Amino acid sequence: MSGAITVRHNLSAHRYEAVVDGHLSVCEYEDAAGSRVFTHTLVPPELRGRGIAEQLVRTALAEARAAGLKVVPACSYVARFIERHGEYRDLLAE
């Protein structure tokens, strides 16, 4: 892989996307009552270990924060990410 990972917010599909080496990786969500529920993060097997999921989730959480939304980590990757990165714990919906 060459260069930085570019993450795009696809509003109509309710997901964050990164295309790397011709493969699509996504972090999907649903919005509900002032919260953003992260439902699924997928990186194709051939791209794993490159930090793509981390970049997707960092971008998604930063945008949720900027929009004043609370976060529900229904996706296990997002839940583990927030556990490991305490600076995002304040985003968790109660």
The confidence score (pLDDT) of residue 2 equals 47
User: For position 66, which CATH number holds?
Assistant: 3.40.630.30
Q: How many domains does the chain have?
A: 1
Q: What's the longest Cα–Cα distance across the chain? A: 40
Q: What angle do CA 53, 76, 2 make, to 5 degrees?
A: 10
Quote the DSSP letter at residue 80. H
Residue type, 81: F
Residue 53, domain member (yes or no): yes
The confidence score (pLDDT) of residue 55 equals 97
Residue 57, domain member (yes or no): yes
- Give the pLDDT means over successive 10-residue stretches in the chain (94 positions): 81 98 97 95 96 98 97 98 97 93
The confidence score (pLDDT) of residue 4 equals 82
Residue 74, domain member (yes or no): yes
Residue 2, domain member (yes or no): no
Q: 79: closest CA among 63, 91, 67?
A: 91
Q: Are 75 and 39 in contact (CB under 8 A)?
A: yes
Q: Output the pTM of the full model.
A: 0.93
The confidence score (pLDDT) of residue 61 equals 98
| Domain membership of residue 57 as a residue range | 8-91
